[in-house]
Amino acid sequence: MSGTEKTKAHAEQAKGKAEEAVGRAVGNERMTAEGHADQAKGNARQAKEDVKDTFRH
């Protein structure tokens, strides 16, 4: 996996987890949903890179 893409994926996942936790703490459903969406984007980016790595080796 490309180091840059791996870092982006982990950063999106962490941002999403934090945003979701803050949203739940303050009772903001929109923020919670946005956090969940950021996590999903990070997971998708990581899955894409894993597939690319599988075919490279």
Single pTM value for the model: 0.81
Alpha helix positions (H), 1-57: 3-26, 29-56
Query: Quick count: other Cβ atoms within 10 Å of Cβ 40?
Result: 13
Rg of the chain in Å (alpha carbons) = 13
**pLDDT 10s digit of each residue in the chain, 57 long?**
467 888 999 999 999 999 999 999 999 999 999 999 999 999 999 999 889 888 887
Backbone angles phi, psi at 36, to 5 degrees: -65, -40
Q: Classify residue 27 by its DSSP letter.
A: T
| Whole-angstrom distance, CA of residue 9 vs CA of residue 5 | 6
